[in-house]
Amino acid sequence: MSDALAGLHIPEHVGIIMDGNGRWAKKRGLPRTIGHKYGAQNFRKVTRYISKCGVKVLTLYAFSTENWKRPPEEVSALMKLFKQNLIDLVTDFRDDDIKVRFIGDRSAFNKVLIDLINESEEVAKNREGMVLNIAMNYGSRDEILMAVRSLCRDVQQNGLDPESLTEKDIADRLYTAHQPDPDLIIRTGGEFRLSNFLLYQCAYSEFYSTETLWPDFNEEEFNKAVIEYNKRNRRFGGV
């Protein structure tokens, strides 16, 4: 951990909206796909550092349900990039004891990607370090709809009393079931919106936006976010 974080409260769960790959490439006169490549490389360095800082859960927004609307050539390039990164993930983070999980609807991907996703999770399932959630084909509204459908089935088929439902019943049916809600959500690239990311879970999250584009986001930038987080007074609706 950096000396800059010594004595500070480290958030237990951090979510990052990794934004700005395309703009990073455009500023350099490069194709957007090159920006995604550099962004993918940066994700490893940032993940390792955040793990060393003592964060328990890290959720990275890699590909949303809306990202399919991008130009076909960009989506195709992203799928190829995902494939290579998933191959690398089978051996990556082993020495870091990082447990890799994927959240989102993986059924939309081809069989090769699905098999690689499953293999990446399998080889990491017994690790005991930081949990890394990689959100791929993830959309929070879709996630909430999935949870509601599950509850409806329990009401219809198993006699669950609707009046007995609690917030926990919903939370237990989300992709992040049994994980703490995010304490801090970071968005790179200077935007101030959630973009359908962890809408249910972030009810009391602290938000931090930085102008830094994702390929340039580094240890120092993460430190700034945690320092700002420590200045917040988290009352959770109280006084």
- Residues forming the active site: 19, 67
The token pair that represents 191 in the structure block: 């935007």
Give the tokens for residue 115.
């098999």
Checking 27-34 for CB contacts under 8 A at 24+ apart, the result is 27/213, 32/74, 33/73, 33/74, 33/77, 33/78, 33/81
Distances (CA, A) of 93 to 89, 132, 238: 7, 10, 39
The CA angle 198-18-223, to the nearest 5 degrees, is 95
How far is Cα 223 from Cα 210, in angstroms, rounded to an integer? Answer: 12
91-119: b (≥16 Cβ within 10 Å) or e: ebbeebebbbbbbbeeeebeeebeebbee
Measured in degrees and rounded to the nearest 5, phi and psi for residue 109 equal -85, 165
| Helix then strand then coil, % of the chain, to nearest 5 | 45, 15, 40
